Amino acid sequence: LTRSSGEGRSERPVIAIHAGAGDHGAELRGHEDECHAALLEALESARTALDQGLDATHAVQAAIVVMENFELFNAGRGATLCSDGAVEMSAALMRGSDRAAGAVAVVHHTENPILGARAVLDSPQVLVVGVPADELAAQAGVPQLPNEHFITERQRERLRDAAAELDRATVGAVCLDGEGLLAAGTSTGGIRGQPPGRVGDCPVIGAGTWADGHAAISCTGDGEAFIRCTAARHVAALVERGASVDAAAAQALQLVAELKFTGGLIAVDGEGNVALPYITSVMPRGLWRAGREPTTWVL
Amino acid sequence: LTRSSGEGRSERPVIAIHAGAGDHGAELRGHEDECHAALLEALESARTALDQGLDATHAVQAAIVVMENFELFNAGRGATLCSDGAVEMSAALMRGSDRAAGAVAVVHHTENPILGARAVLDSPQVLVVGVPADELAAQAGVPQLPNEHFITERQRERLRDAAAELDRATVGAVCLDGEGLLAAGTSTGGIRGQPPGRVGDCPVIGAGTWADGHAAISCTGDGEAFIRCTAARHVAALVERGASVDAAAAQALQLVAELKFTGGLIAVDGEGNVALPYITSVMPRGLWRAGREPTTWVL
């Protein structure tokens, strides 16, 4: 079952967001209105960035900051806990025009990890992990907070509840801006109960996050499988060779499914075509295009 | 300038190794015999693994262990130093048949980081970083040593010598075994003087290391550029679509060159065709095919 809520070609700019593919529909059902509101706020924040003349990378990071700050999504405050009870976060940001990229992994203190990824994108590095990643974010002015700030009682309970569904949701955004620039970003707390030090696909450029001149992609799901498929890069490669973004996204998820794993992704191509497919039961998501009203889906 | 020392199709097994693309020819010139001997020992060690009935992944890791232990190559003991004077190491190993992969980054104590990558490949994870990566390797029986073990006086001097050429060499191996299984592995100390926490392409699956049913690739050079090109995955994708491994490898290095960076790679396809191109001035390397004598090149 691949679901999609994409629409055909349209005016730019276009912004699409996701808050993680999973099977946590029962939990989301109790918070539907809050989730719609958070998704809408993320879209509005991205739109405001574009209205201010900022580019697609800034729109992507603006949307992700809102979702990181929303406690019910698995990134920033409220992220899933590692097996030792701490929060470890990763994020990545990529600009399509020159494939400049920045990613952080295993950060513990950076209030908004996507802004840490931004700091790396603006540095000579592409991937910085651990304490130095927090320090680089701090030097770029991103507030640093105790790890306890990110830990919510809800996630403490879920870590204790071995029967809870596997949490591996993530947040992400892709954008085609008014100048035709593509960008993608992703941010996550990883998988609930993961061993400390485990890094998924989110900060692995080409796996969970990718943008080039043809498409921008952000993935969510079983990160190890997305790495083994270079899933995000695969979508862009197929689009480059003439596939529709819908067909390319479906094919990438098919590769993940063949490995007996699951997830979803969002993708936008250089003409503004969007695909938002997932092979889990739910993937909260949102879409805004120039000249239309923003739309959000939770269940 | 793209050089290659590949040869046409041949019998399997085939093992190719590299000890890093760079512009450090002047330094290598003083140690040519030692380097030839180390490369030859790495090929022989891989061949012994195959003779014992082990598969391509074990041949790759056997070759890399020898190169990690050789002080003049940039991996394991003798690796380049970070700006703070410590050694931080990364390694990755990937099996082509099922695209199982394992990688470690920012390990400080694991005697042979490629064996840490092996431990991750054998775990549910794909990428583990920092202290937990050392711990996982230790649990798998890989000896742990003080970071001082990895620091050589030669590298201390090079860190002090701002005029020395940029060090960013890496070691790697690819293999097509007698059963037709492809595997790739890479191990590195990163770039001399890099900030702590910086991670290059080596442990980024699809960037510095990749193996699938079509080809196995290990890269070396300016890691950030290889990540931004998903260089290793790109070679395999081109081979899958019918390109020769020579043409595919050259095209991947062309992408790196277009970003104004440099490096080299080794690749083998499912028929045993090998490419060993580099766009730097030197890349020590070796090749062994069934029924032939092993060959090594230093300058």
Report pLDDT for A163.
63
Could you give the strand order of the β-sheet that contains B171-176, starting from the edge strand earlier in sequence? A198-199, B127-129, B101-107, B89-95, B182-188, B171-176, B14-18, B285-289, B295-297
Q: How many residues does chain B have?
A: 299
Q: How far is A39 from chain B (nearest CA, A)?
A: 29
Say if residues B206 and A206 touch (Cβ distance below 8 Å). yes
Asked whether the beta carbons of residue A205 and residue B207 sit closer than 8 angstroms, the reply is yes
- Give Cα B14 to chain centroid, integer Å: 16
Q: Which residues of A touch B99 (CB under 8 A)?
A: 228-229, 259
Distances (CA, A) of A101 to A97, A286, B58, B81, B227: 11, 24, 33, 24, 9
CA distances from A131 to B106, B176, B268 (A): 11, 39, 38
If phi > 0 it is left, if psi is from -120 to 50 it is alpha, else beta; for residue B156 that is alpha
The reported pLDDT for the residue numbered A2 is: 47
Is the separation of the CB atoms in B203 and B1 below 8 Å? Answer: no
Q: How many CB pairs under 8 A join A and B?
A: 115
Q: What's the mean pLDDT in A244-256?
A: 98
The CA distance from B251 to A47, in Å, is 38
Q: pLDDT tens digits, residue range B193-243?
A: 999 999 999 999 999 999 999 999 999 999 999 999 999 999 999 999 999
d(CA B203, CA A128): 12
Question: From B205, which residue of chain A is nearest by alpha-carbon distance?
Answer: A227
**Separation of alpha carbons B189 and B199, rounded Å:** 10
pLDDT in tens, B243-276: 999 999 999 999 999 999 999 999 999 999 999 9
Q: How far is A199 from chain B (nearest CA, A)?
A: 5
Cross-strand bridge partners of residue B264 = B220, B278
Residue B287: strand pairing partners = B16, B295
pLDDT (mean) for A81-95: 96
Q: Do B259 and A132 touch (CB under 8 A)?
A: no
pLDDT digits (tens, 9 = 90+) for A135-183: 999 999 999 999 999 999 999 998 998 666 667 779 999 999 999 999 9
Report the distance separating Cα A236 and Cα B100, nearest Å: 23
> Is position B188 annotated as part of the catalytic site?
no
- In angstroms, the separation between the Cα of residue A234 and the nearest Cα of chain B is 9
Query: How far is B246 from B255, CA to CA, in rounded Å?
Result: 15
Place B24 in a pLDDT band, splitting at 50, 70 and 90: confident
> Which residue among B80, B110, B170, B186 is the active-site one?
B170
Share of chain B above pLDDT 90, in %: 89
Q: Are B44 and B294 in contact (CB under 8 A)?
A: yes
What pTM, to 2 d.p., does this model score?
0.95
Taking the C-alpha atoms of residue B281 and residue A217, their distance in angstroms, rounded to an integer, is 36
Name chain A contacts of B198, Cβ cutoff 8 Å.
Answer: 125, 127-128, 132
Is A205 within 8 Å of B200 when comparing Cβ atoms?
no
Which residues make Cβ contacts (< 8 Å) with residue B53, sequence separation at least 6?
none
- pLDDT at residue A1, rounded to an integer: 42
Does the distance separating the beta carbons of A227 and B198 come in below 8 Å? no
Residue B126 contacts A, CB cutoff 8 Å: yes
Scan residues 244-273 of A and list those with Cβ closer than 8 Å to B. 259
pLDDT digits (tens, 9 = 90+) for A49-72: 999 999 999 999 999 999 999 999
Specify the pLDDT at position B163. Answer: 63
B168 versus A186: the higher-pLDDT residue is: A186
Provide the H-helix boundaries in B241-299: 245-258
Residue B1 above 70 pLDDT?
Answer: no
What residues pair up with B17 in beta bridges, in sequence order?
B173, B286
Quick one: pLDDT at residue B164?
66
Upper half-sphere CA count for residue A214 (Cβ side, 13 Å) = 15
- pLDDT tens across A277-286, in order? 999 999 999 9
Selected residue with higher pLDDT from B165 and A276: A276
Q: Which of A57, A80, A110, A170 is catalytic?
A: A170
Residues of A in contact with B214 (CB under 8 A): none
